[in-house]
Structure 1
Amino acid sequence: MIIQIKTFNQLETQELYEVLQLRSEIFVVEQDCVYQDIDGKDEEATHLMGRKKDKLVGYTRIFGPGQLFEEASIGRVMVKKGERTHGYGKEIMEASIEFIRNSFGDVPIRISAQTYLLKFYTSLGFVAQGSEYLEDGIPHIGMIRR
């Protein structure tokens, strides 16, 4: 998998289309969750894209400290169905963490994790904070990596 990292203004029209299409495919259709994905925050975010044979297979949306939370944050973490057995989720998360470290230093990182992925995020150094809550009808838990 090849990792690309771009600001919103650096995204080409086709790349933005692929990102929004995959986010809709996973978060709206696959997870059967009606929510406002295009939330006005993409323009402020850094977009990490994982490509395999020129096709988008993984993605995260990254914010620096103070942009979304006091801490840096990673969200919209996704890997295309059918590509989830290759370790791409771990690869895009590690690349996202590295981007934050290189850009902002050794800062805490906050995520809102789907509860069923708690073990996955714990393996990346994130620690659960607070109680489980529903976000768009899906159980989540706040997590921090220091």
Structure 2
Amino acid sequence: MNWDTYHFDELTAGKLYEFLKLRVDVFIVEQNCPYPELDDLDQESVHMAYMENGQTLAYARLVPAGVKYDLPSIGRVIVHPSARGRGLAKELITKAVDYILAEWQVNEIQLQGQVYLQSFYESFGFMPISEAYDEDGIPHVDMKFTKNKM
């Protein structure tokens, strides 16, 4: 499997469009949730993606510490509807955690997950650090991963 990472200035216009279209198609259209998708975090982030035959099938945005939270974070975790059920989400989270720990030399990672995915994230060692709350009409929970606490 070919997983790639891109800093914002490495993205072509076509690749950026593809990532943003997938994010809008899933988070806004599929989940029927109008919210400001373009939040000025993309420019500081690392974009991780898995592609087959020129199509992005899995994607996450890795945000450095101090940009959104005090800790680095994983967000915009998506698997294309046509590729669900293949284990790509598990591989994506594993690769995202590994990248952040190795490249940014940190021991903790934060994420804001949808509540229905809480047990999924817990399977990687993320633990809730907030109560459930409403974010744009969808229940979310803040979670934190601490290295060597798995």
Q: Please state which band the TM-score falls in when normalised by the shorter chain.
A: over 0.9
* 2:125 is the alignment partner of 1:125: yes
Deviation at 1:67, TM superposition (A): 2.0
TM-score by length of 2: 0.94
Residues 41 and 67 in structure 2, CA contact (< 8 A), matched pair in contact too: no
Residues 8 and 46 in structure 2, CA contact (< 8 A), matched pair in contact too: yes
Residues 71 and 107 in structure 1, CA contact (< 8 A), matched pair in contact too: no
Deviation at 1:53, TM superposition (A): 2.3
CA distance in 2, matches of 1:4, 1:73: 18
Residues 79 and 89 in structure 2, CA contact (< 8 A), matched pair in contact too: yes
CA distance in 1, matches of 2:107, 2:71: 7
Query: What corresponds to 2:107 in structure 1?
Result: 107
SS of the equivalent of 1:131 reads: coil
Residues 57 and 80 in structure 2, CA contact (< 8 A), matched pair in contact too: yes
- Residues 20-73 of structure 1, C-alpha deviation per residue, up to 9 Å, x if partnerless? 110011001100000110111110111001112221011101012222211110
Q: Which residues in structure 2 correspond to 1:67-82 (within 5 Å)?
A: 67-82=67-82
CA distance in 1, matches of 2:41, 2:106: 24
Query: What corresponds to 1:134 in structure 2?
Result: 134
Residues 72 and 107 in structure 1, CA contact (< 8 A), matched pair in contact too: no
SS of the equivalent of 2:129 reads: strand
CA distance in 2, matches of 1:105, 1:118: 25
Tell me the amino acid that sits aligned with residue 129 of structure 1. Answer: I
Q: Which runs of 4+ in 1 moved over 3 A?
A: none
Residues 58 and 78 in structure 1, CA contact (< 8 A), matched pair in contact too: yes
* Structure 1: gaps of 5 or more residues: none
* 2:36 is the alignment partner of 1:36: yes
Residues 48 and 62 in structure 1, CA contact (< 8 A), matched pair in contact too: yes
Query: What corresponds to 1:24 in structure 2?
Result: 24
Deviation at 1:106, TM superposition (A): 3.5
CA distance in 1, matches of 2:19, 2:82: 17
CA distance in 1, matches of 2:38, 2:104: 26
* Structure 2: gaps of 5 or more residues: none
Query: What corresponds to 1:84 in structure 2?
Result: 84
